[in-house]
């Protein structure tokens, strides 16, 4: 009997609102959560806009010790995981711990904690030979991104396979894909899977400044993230986390779980072309889409919505527009496409999980979230990008794609569960 994976719980920490409901409110209203950076003094930076989370770890339920121990990215992930597990109704205690898996994605790990401690140990960059006597007990936990998976695993009581997946900006999609594989191959029956990133710190901002990838637009932060718009000028950094509970479909049905979506297909490819550059033909992303749809047993007409990578760089928007045309042919012109990065920015590795969460919610509500700020389309981006306003739209299957530094291209197909078709 083929094992299949379904999404039964969603937890979110996102710019513009924490929690699944606030997240969907923001997306379906087409509101933007981008603003002038407040998390650090960005005066000397080229890009001074970001999508920040209004996140109070204590209010979010973390204890003082957890707050001390965990970097911001870990705090996000644990809070999102708690929500996902609670919301799914799954009793993890009823599972054999060895059958519980964890798969967390992150592009930059615990960068914030690592950087903050660096400034202390080096005394503001003065000393190459940093002073170990100023090291905090959790410093090693900041150095290794695996900490993020450790925290979620301990939270979930997982004693099965646990992994931190770090494929740049496709980490979130790939981590969920990894979780699906653990269930399908029989290594786990339930996987707490998602991604987290908190890159709004000087070093990460400076590194995107250096390659002029982020927007230099500082005058109009609310409208700075403009995927597919002819006036876009770079992406807007974001932060956040989405964590899902993924269960083996039969077990989920047996316990009467409310299923958001079934994961029908996943594939990833690399462009082996350039660490940051994309070829305009979208060839490898198209191949990832083709394989994911093939695994879902779908033809080009099989998807009803595409959640785009849509980062808001000219290079990306044209690359993936080409990829959609290449993989779906004429269908690419008919299917609605949107980018939620227009509202919540680009949270690097986390965004793929936030986008899958958005797809699952879109399927449940039968509403396509819009591409905010899209007013003057780039003539080379000539698909239906659902500008500015959410759209009610019947959807059975949706596609989400991601593209990342290192050449990674990933695609995932979600389907509305049969049970949901009857009950919702």
Partner 1 sequence: MADPTSPNPVTLSTTSAFTLDDLRRILRAGAGVDEQIDLSGAIAGVPFAELGYDSLALLELTGRIEREYAIRIPDGELEHTRTPAEAVTYVNSQLSQEGI
Partner 2 sequence: MSASGIAPHRGTPPVVTGIGVVAPTGIGARRHWESVLAGKSGLGRITRFDPTGYPVRVAGEVPGFDAVREVPGRLVPQTDRFTHFALAAAEAALGDSGVDPASLPEYEMAVVTASSSGGTEFGQHEMERLYRNGPSWVGAYQSIAWFYAATTGQVSIRHGMRGPCGVLCCEQAGGLDALGQARRLLRTGSRLVLTGGTDASLCPYGLVAQLASGGLSTVDDPARAYLPFDASASGFVPGEGGAFLTVESAASARERGAHRYGEILGYAAGFDPAPRTGRPPVLAAVIRRALADARIGAPEVGVVFADASGVPEQDLAEARAISEVFGAGAVPVTAPKALTGRLYAGGAALDAVTALLSLGHGVVPHTAGPGRPAPGCEIDLVLDRPRQTGPRTALVLARGYGGFTSALLLGAADTPLTPH
- Report the catalytic residues: 169, 309, 346
Alpha-carbon distances of 108 from 105, 219, 366, 405, rounded to whole Å: 9, 28, 33, 12
Look up residue 258 and give its DSSP letter: P
| Smallest separation, CB 281 to partner 1 (Å) | 17
Choose the contact partner of 153 out of partner 2, partner 1, none; CB within 5 to 8 A by kind.
partner 2
Half-sphere exposure at residue 174, Cβ-oriented, CA atoms within 13 angstroms: 24
Q: Which of 173, 310, 172 is nearest to 241 (CA)?
A: 172
- Residue 348 or 381: the one with the smaller Cβ distance to partner 2 is 348
Query: With contact defined as beta carbons under 8 Å apart, do 9 and 88 qualify?
Result: yes
| Smallest separation, CB 233 to partner 1 (Å) | 9
- Residue 67 or 136: the one with the smaller Cβ distance to partner 2 is 136
Query: With contact defined as beta carbons under 8 Å apart, do 51 and 225 qualify?
Result: yes
Half-sphere exposure at residue 258, Cβ-oriented, CA atoms within 13 angstroms: 13
Choose the contact partner of 424 out of partner 2, partner 1, none; CB within 5 to 8 A by kind.
none
Q: Are strands 240-248 and 190-197 parallel, antiparallel or unpaired?
A: antiparallel
Choose the contact partner of 379 out of partner 2, partner 1, none; CB within 5 to 8 A by kind.
none
| Smallest separation, CB 324 to partner 1 (Å) | 24
Q: Which of 144, 53, 170, 81 is nearest to 406 (CA)?
A: 170
Choose the contact partner of 249 out of partner 2, partner 1, none; CB within 5 to 8 A by kind.
none
Where along the sequence are the contacts to partner 1 (CB under 8 A)?
210-212, 216, 274-277
Q: Which residues contact 388 (CB under 8 A, 6 or more apart)?
A: 30, 370, 371, 372, 373, 374, 375
| Smallest separation, CB 323 to partner 1 (Å) | 20
- Residue 303 or 374: the one with the smaller Cβ distance to partner 2 is 303
Find the helix packing angle between 314-328 and 283-295, rounded to 10°: 50
Choose the contact partner of 277 out of partner 2, partner 1, none; CB within 5 to 8 A by kind.
partner 1
| Smallest separation, CB 184 to partner 2 (Å) | 4
């Amino acid at each position: 009997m083929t094992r299949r994976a379904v999404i039964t719980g969603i937890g979110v920490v996102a710019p513009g609102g924490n929690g699944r409901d606030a997240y969907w409110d923001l997306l379906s209203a087409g509101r933007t959560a981008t603003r002038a950076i407040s998390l650090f003094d960005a005066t000397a930076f080229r890009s001074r806009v970001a999508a920040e989370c209004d996140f109070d770890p204590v209010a979010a339920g973390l204890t003082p010790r957890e707050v001390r121990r965990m970097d911001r990215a870990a705090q996000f992930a644990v809070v999102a995981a708690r929500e996902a597990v609670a919301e799914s109704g799954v009793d993890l205690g009823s599972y054999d711990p060895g059958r519980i898996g964890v798969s967390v994605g992150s592009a930059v790990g615990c960068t914030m904690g690592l950087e903050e401690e660096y400034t202390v140990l080096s005394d503001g960059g003065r000393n190459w030979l940093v002073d170990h006597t100023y090291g905090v007990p959790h410093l090693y936990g900041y150095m290794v991104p695996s900490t993020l998976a450790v925290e979620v695993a301990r939270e979930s009581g997982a004693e099965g396979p646990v992994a931190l997946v770090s494929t740049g900006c496709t980490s979130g999609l790939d981590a969920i894909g990894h979780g699906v594989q653990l269930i399908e191959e029989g290594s786990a029956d339930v996987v707490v899977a998602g991604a987290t990133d908190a890159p709004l710190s000087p070093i990460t901002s400076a590194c995107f400044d250096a390659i002029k990838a982020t927007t230099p637009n500082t005058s109009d932060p609310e409208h700075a993230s403009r995927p597919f718009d002819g006036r876009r000028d770079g992406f807007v950094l974001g932060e956040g986390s989405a964590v899902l509970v993924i269960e083996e479909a039969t077990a989920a049905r047996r316990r009467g779980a409310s299923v958001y979506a079934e994961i029908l297909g996943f594939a990833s490819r690399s462009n082996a072309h350039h660490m940051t550059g994309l070829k305009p033909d979208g060839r490898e992303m198209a191949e990832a889409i083709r394989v994911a749809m093939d695994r879902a047993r779908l033809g080009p007409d099989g998807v009803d919505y595409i959640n785009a990578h849509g980062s808001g760089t000219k290079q990306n928007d044209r690359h993936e527009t080409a990829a959609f045309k290449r993989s779906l042919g004429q269908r690419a012109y008919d299917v609605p496409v949107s980018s939620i990065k227009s509202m919540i920015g680009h949270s690097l590795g986390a965004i793929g999980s936030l986008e899958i969460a958005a797809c699952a919610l879109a399927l449940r509500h039968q509403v396509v979230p819009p591409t905010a700020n899209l007013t003057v389309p780039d003539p080379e981006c000539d698909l239906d990008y659902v500008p500015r306003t959410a759209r009610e739209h019947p959807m059975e299957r949706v596609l989400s794609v991601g593209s990342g530094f290192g050449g990674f291209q990933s695609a995932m197909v979600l389907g509305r569960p049969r049970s949901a078709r009857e009950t919702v």
